[in-house]
A and B are shown apart, each in its own frame.
Chain A
Amino acid sequence: NAGVTQTPKFRVLKTGQSMTLLCAQDMNHEYMYWYRQDPGMGLRLIHYSVGEGTTAKGEVPDGYNVSRLKKQNFLLGLESAAPSQTSVYFCASRPQGARNTEAFFGQGTRLTVV
């Protein structure tokens, strides 16, 4: 029962470097999300996707890009990392259909930008 898997779990970047976070789900869910979690601020939505080939901006999209080339994968990219992007990143997925569906989360990626 893999569920939602995030890769990598930890990463340290230097300012200006780029990287891609991978989220993979094996539940055939249509919807996928990227959140960031910062102390005292709760989880905030970065980008989301309502299906293969679609992406949309969330609350805090600046500095991030995403792609959903395959239904099971949702990639989050940082083109030029900044210290303000130090955070814990969570991916989530849920089924399509009724909005009364449960969201499932990955284990998180802890990113530090120095």
Chain B
Amino acid sequence: KQEVTQIPAALSVPEGENLVLNCSFTDSAIYNLQWFRQDPGKGLTSLLLIQSSQREQTSGRLNASLDKSSGRSTLYIAASQPGDSATYLCAVRTLGTGTASKLTFGTGTRLQVTL
């Protein structure tokens, strides 16, 4: 059974710092890994999707890496801003029952960027 772990559960950094969020998963037979952002009381916004054959993806100040063999992904946020404060979730897609794939989520890292 796939298990996804995100450490730390919460993180507070001053504005301007570069930071790394970690995600690990137990089953390396994944199709892709997706990073989401969730603001309090809101839905999930997709940030980056890394396919299993890729090593990294970049979008603006965000860079996500994937090491499938070791079951790890990192989300790097450069020059953090107060607007980056949110909960960041990672999810991996693996084969589910039958032919349908499934997303397994971590419990998230709650990030606070202070002035």
Contact = CB atoms under 8 A, between A and B. Distances in A.
Nearest to B46: A102
B107 A99 contact: no
B31 A99 contact: yes
B42 interface: yes
Contacts, number: 58
Nearest to A43: B105
B46 A100 contact: no
B71 interface: no
Contacts of A56: 97-98, 100
B113 to A, nearest CB: 22
B65 interface: no
Contacts of B51: 100
Nearest to A57: B97
B50 to A, nearest CB: 9
Contact of A103 (B41, B46, B97, B106): B46
Interface string A69-92: 000000000000000000000101
Contact of B100 (A42, A44, A48, A102): A48
Main SS at interface, chain A: strand
Contact of A40 (B91, B93, B100, B107): B107
- Give the interface size bracket for A toward B: 20 to 34
A95 interface: no
B22 to A, nearest CB: 15
Contacts of B4: 42
A60 B30 CA distance: 22
B32 to A, nearest CB: 5
Interface of A: 31, 33, 40-45, 48, 50, 56, 58, 90, 92, 99-100, 102-108, 110
28 contacts: A33-B103, A41-B107, A42-B4, A42-B89, A42-B108, A43-B91, A43-B105, A44-B105, A45-B103, A48-B102, A56-B97, A58-B102, A90-B43, A90-B44, A99-B101, A100-B31, A100-B49, A100-B51, A100-B93, A102-B46, A103-B34, A103-B91, A105-B36, A105-B44, A105-B46, A106-B43, A107-B42, A108-B41
